[in-house]
Copies of this chain bind each other. A is one copy, B any other.
């Protein structure tokens, strides 16, 4: 169902715990039918995903255990925006905190609504070049490894279906298609 002509007559939070907030809207159709739509509401203003690319086309991948899928996954740096932060400010903060990297050249790589059938989330993608290094600032218990991988090798992994993080695979293929992996600056 699409519900573009339905009117929301009541909206309430049905569940909220940790990072999961469920909203339920009661909807009224032009013909007078009534139903409800149950969906996730982001607890933050959005998320940011950063693809950092070094001068010699190496990418710092985050390797971390993901509890819901009970396995280790390669991801890109990223995380939730804080209230009042712009996507770019959040991207700079998350990159520094998770990897200790500071980047001088930033370029947008699209904004996406993952799982738009049942989630309000917006994810903002960035390419970061001009990398230099400072100290990581991990949260207590945050247990992530950074593994540098050449862009060429990462693309091989994607084409062989050896990655399983959609955001990582998208960002690298986007950077390739946009020409950011041809050795030129952003």
Contacts and interface: CB of A to CB of B under 8 A. Distances in A.
A24 B68 CA distance: 10
Q: Give the dominant DSSP class at A's interface.
A: mixed
List the number of copies, as a whole number: 2
A158 B143 contact: no
Contacts of A159: 174, 177-178
Interface residues on A, range: 35 or more
A114 interface: yes
A19 B111 CA distance: 25
Interface of A: 1-4, 14-15, 17-20, 22, 24-25, 36-41, 64-69, 72-73, 75, 108-120, 122-123, 139, 141-144, 155, 158-159, 161, 163-167, 169-170, 173-174, 176-178
